[in-house]
């Protein structure tokens, strides 16, 4: 499963843009399936899918990341392996083309789970990852979005509407979850965060248990939404706990998790979930969520 952000998405009014999102998801899902067909693991598949989403400027991650209060890109990402709960995360990194790949390196080549900011970038250098130039990240849309947010003196959520109090918002983040034929689960999440955010603000995406979680005994989860609400409810782990403690499948655990998110903090956003039997589920409190899935090796489904 993959997702490309939650929200009302009324801002995507023309069919051409909608098709653009859906075609990207379809292509990336096929790519993820191909990796596993060729013997790759769920972990390899989610890393590759998340990296492809980071490479597409329409999504709020990697090169399409939104800008912070200083007009800079600061990105967060995490990856988790359900086989042994190993995990890696990076927060507030700049000039990294694929933060999810750096998160994977934190997991496999350091003794830590999370590295932040300059330390994470120093580690990238140590691992031989070159820095991407500033202009790799700056799209006209993102600059206009920041100017709009500054004019209104507000923090905006990715594709926020210019209308005050409108629900026309897209809480951008990208993510992928997978189960491979061996029954192993993995999850990855990556984001540029929210528009005009404070320097140093970190959202839910790199927080293990909030924006991402995977455990072979239960589920793999990737979240997209207003990070602060997802952190306060530790939503990804909460969904896995529902599955574990109440013997719920992906659909039941997702429903219970989304109800919890709504009732506790009126959380805005959504999740994609695969359980240990390969059942796919999605849930969101926003009007829509861009996501897609291939269940039990069947056909590709994409939703807007």
Q: Which of residues 256-285 bind ligand GLY (CB under 6 A)?
A: none
Candidates 45, 68, 161, 205; binder of ligand GLY (CB under 6 A) is 205
Asked if residue 173 binds ligand GLY (CB under 6 A), the reply is yes
We find the least distance from the C-beta atom of residue 199 to ligand GLY, in angstroms, to be: 14
Asked if residue 4 binds ligand GLY (CB under 6 A), the reply is no
Binding mask 124-163 for ligand GLY (x = CB under 6 A): ----------------------------------------
Candidates 88, 99, 203, 292; binder of ligand GLY (CB under 6 A) is 203
- C-beta of 193 vs 209, nearer to ligand GLY: 193
Q: Is 173 a catalytic residue?
A: yes
Can you give the three-state secondary structure of the chain, one letter per residue?
CEEEEEECCCCCCCHHHHHHHHHHHHHHHHHHHHHHHCCCCHHHHHHHHHHHHHCCCCCCCHHHCCCCCCCCCCEEEEEEECCCCEEEEEEEECCCCCHHHHHHHHHHHCCCCEEEHHHHHHHHHHCCCCCCCHHHCCCHHHHHHHHHHHHCCCCECECCCCCCCCCCCEECCEEEEEECCCCCEEEEEEECCCECCCCCCCCCCCCECCCEEECCCCEEEEEEECHHHHHHCCHHHHHHHHHHHCCCCHHHHHHHHHHHHHHHHCCCEEEEEEECCCCEEEEECCCEEEEEEECCCCCEEEEC
- C-beta of 104 vs 170, nearer to ligand GLY: 170
Part in contact with ligand GLY (CB under 6 A); list of ranges 111-119, 127-135, 201-209, 275-283: 201-209
Part in contact with ligand GLY (CB under 6 A); list of ranges 84-92, 204-212, 239-247, 274-282: 204-212
- C-beta of 193 vs 292, nearer to ligand GLY: 193
Candidates 193, 257, 267, 283; binder of ligand GLY (CB under 6 A) is 193
- C-beta of 27 vs 288, nearer to ligand GLY: 288
Q: Which of residues 214-243 bind ligand GLY (CB under 6 A)?
A: 224-227
Asked if residue 191 binds ligand GLY (CB under 6 A), the reply is yes
Catalytic residue among 108, 162, 173, 191, which?
Answer: 173
b/e for 61-95, b at 16 or more Cβ within 10 A?
A: bbbbbbbbbeebbbbbbbbbbbbeeebbbbbbbbb
Q: Which residues are catalytic?
A: 173
Q: Residues interacting with ligand GLY, by CB under 6 A?
A: 173, 191, 193-194, 203-205, 211, 224-227
């Amino acid at each position: 499963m993959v997702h490309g952000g939650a929200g009302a998405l009324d801002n995507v009014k023309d069919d051409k843009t909608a098709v653009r999102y859906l075609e990207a998801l379809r292509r990336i899902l096929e790519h993820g399936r191909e990796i596993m067909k060729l013997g790759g693991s769920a972990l390899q598949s989610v890393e590759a899918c998340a990296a492809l989403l980071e490479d597409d400027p329409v999504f709020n991650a990697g090169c399409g990341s939104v800008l912070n209060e200083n007009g800079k890109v600061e990105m967060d990402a995490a990856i988790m392996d359900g086989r042994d709960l190993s995990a890696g995360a990076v927060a507030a990194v700049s000039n990294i083309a694929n933060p999810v790949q750096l998160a994977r390196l934190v997991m496999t080549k350091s003794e830590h789970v999370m590295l932040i900011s300059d330390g994470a970038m120093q580690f990238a250098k140590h691992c031989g990852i070159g820095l991407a130039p500033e202009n790799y990240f700056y799209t006209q849309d993102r600059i206009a979005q920041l100017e709009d947010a500054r004019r209104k003196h507000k923090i905006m959520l990715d594709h926020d509407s210019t209308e005050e109090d409108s629900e026309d918002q897209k809480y951008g983040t990208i993510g992928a979850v997978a189960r491979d034929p061996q029954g192993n689960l993995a999850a990855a999440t990556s984001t540029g965060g929210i528009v005009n955010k404070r320097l140093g603000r970190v959202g839910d995406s790199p927080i293990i248990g909030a924006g991402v979680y995977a455990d072979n005994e239960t589920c793999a989860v990737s979240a997209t939404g207003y990070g602060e609400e997802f952190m306060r409810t530790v939503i990804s782990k909460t969904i896995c706990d529902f599955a574990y403690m109440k013997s719920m499948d992906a659909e039941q655990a997702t429903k219970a998790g989304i109800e919890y998110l709504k009732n506790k903090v009126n959380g805005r956003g959504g999740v994609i979930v695969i359980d240990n039997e390969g059942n796919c589920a999605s849930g969101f409190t926003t009007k829509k969520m861009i996501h897609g899935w291939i269940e039990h090796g069947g056909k590709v489904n994409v939703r807007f």
